[in-house]
Amino acid sequence: MDDLDERALRRLSDDGQRLTEGRRRVLQALVDAGAPVTIPDILGLQPGLAQSSVYRNLAVLERAGLVSRIAMGDDHAHYELAEDITDHHHHHLVCEACGKVSDVTLPDSTERALDRALDEAASVEGFALSRHRLDLIGRCRDCVSV
Amino acid sequence: MDDLDERALRRLSDDGQRLTEGRRRVLQALVDAGAPVTIPDILGLQPGLAQSSVYRNLAVLERAGLVSRIAMGDDHAHYELAEDITDHHHHHLVCEACGKVSDVTLPDSTERALDRALDEAASVEGFALSRHRLDLIGRCRDCVSV
DNA sequence: ATTTATGCAAATCGTTTGCAAACCT
DNA sequence: AGGTTTGCAAACGATTTGCATAAAT
């Protein structure tokens, strides 16, 4: 986590931003959660933070490339540490019953084949591909039985 | 489009719902658009519709399996005819500059390989997969040059 | 006749913002 | 001191909802 602090500091100062206590605590909440979480989750994990500051700091952290925002349909957005920081490319399992989001990894061979296909499809459309998002939607282990 | 009307009617009545003028016009807007559109787009394509009725009717049409809602991050959600109706499995190109969303198809072989990999990954996690969502994010043809 | 859909305006709720006080360097 | 961040409360905006009227069966 000191490693993360160091990287966070560098990323933020590259972006002309400071690593404040509030920002450190937001990052810590994301580390502790170990999965994409909502703002209420973050406030629960690090009590005492002001909601508006968490929103503002997540925006700062996202601009600095430290955090990714995952837009789910209706309710709260989810946030997690950016892949850039975790060095862990992954996709998301989204439970349509309880709304929980968790990470999932695909075999490297699948990722490579997928990347190739996406590059090809994008170039045919004259589209400059910068990233992709793959969500698996269904029922999580806790909700299948219900 | 009469074909669509017929299918819409069946789907809706299976769901205990009527095919009203307002619902027909929402569907027509989606047909005319030919790409995922927002509520303001729909109101522009079919002037005179009441915004709240469009919201309500899209919800009804979605429950009946005729329409898919695509949740983008911040602004308006996008809506399109359901794959079930169009028989056209596809993914989305999302322009991060202008917000436009359009459809894109991948080779069958890629889709099959992807499906297999997703089924496997989901089952490892005890996750009951019902569908997936794949978005290609970048800059559309009109925005690459800008 | 009875149920369902519509349109308007008001309410909801996640998120953003204005502003004064606290903080950092 | 000079600029930034914070916390509170108010504002915003997409979507939802209450209610009286119109439409459909």
What's the CA gap between A107 and A114, in Å, rounded?
Answer: 11
What's the CA gap between B54 and B60, in Å, rounded?
Answer: 10
pLDDT of A1 reads: 54
Question: Where does the pLDDT of residue A75 fall: very low under 50, low under 70, confident under 90, or very high at 90 and above?
Answer: confident
List Cα–Cα distances, B31 to B3, B34, B101, in angstroms: 12, 5, 15
Q: List the B22 CA – C14 C1' distance (angstroms).
A: 29
Tens digit of each residue's pLDDT (9 = 90 or more) over B5-55:
889 999 999 999 999 999 999 999 999 999 999 999 999 999 999 999 999
pLDDT of B1 reads: 54
pLDDT of A73 reads: 74
Tens digit of each residue's pLDDT (9 = 90 or more) over B78-98:
999 999 899 889 999 999 888
pLDDT of B74 reads: 76
- Whether A94 contacts B134, CB under 8 Å: no
Give A4 or A74, the one with higher predicted confidence.
A4
pLDDT of A72 reads: 80
Q: How many CA atoms lie within 13 A of A62 on its CB side?
A: 12
What's the CA gap between A137 and A98, in Å, rounded?
Answer: 12
Question: Where does the pLDDT of residue B4 fall: very low under 50, low under 70, confident under 90, or very high at 90 and above?
Answer: confident
B82 touches strand D (CB under 7 A): no
Q: Do B137 and A114 touch (CB under 8 A)?
A: no
Which secondary-structure segment (H or E) carries B127?
Answer: none
Q: Which residue in chain A is spatially nearest to B144 when comparing CA positions?
A: A128
End-to-end CA distance of chain A: 37
Q: Tokens for B50?
A: 């009441």
Residue type present at position B59: A
Tens digit of each residue's pLDDT (9 = 90 or more) over A55-69:
999 999 999 999 999
Q: Do A133 and B131 touch (CB under 8 A)?
A: no
Question: Where does the pLDDT of residue A87 fall: very low under 50, low under 70, confident under 90, or very high at 90 and above?
Answer: confident
Q: Per-residue pLDDT for B104 more than 90?
A: yes
Question: What's the mean pLDDT when you consider all of chain A?
Answer: 93
pLDDT of B46 reads: 96
Q: How far is B71 from chain A (nearest CA, A)?
A: 5
Tens digit of each residue's pLDDT (9 = 90 or more) over A9-30:
999 999 889 999 999 999 999 9
Contact residues, chain A, for B89 at CB < 8 Å:
none
Q: Per-residue pLDDT for A37 more than 90?
A: yes
Mean pLDDT for the stretch of residues A82-86? 91
Q: Do A126 and B140 touch (CB under 8 A)?
A: yes
Q: List the B77 CA – C18 C1' distance (angstroms).
A: 29
Percent of residues, chain B, with pLDDT higher than 70: 99
B contact test, residue of A127, A130, A143, A144 with most B CBs within 10 A: A127
pLDDT of A146 reads: 72
Give A72 or A68, the one with higher predicted confidence.
A68
Percent of residues, chain A, with pLDDT higher than 90: 81
Residue type present at position A93: L
What's the CA gap between A72 and A55, in Å, rounded?
Answer: 16
- The number of beta carbons lying within 10 Å of the beta carbon of residue B80 is 23
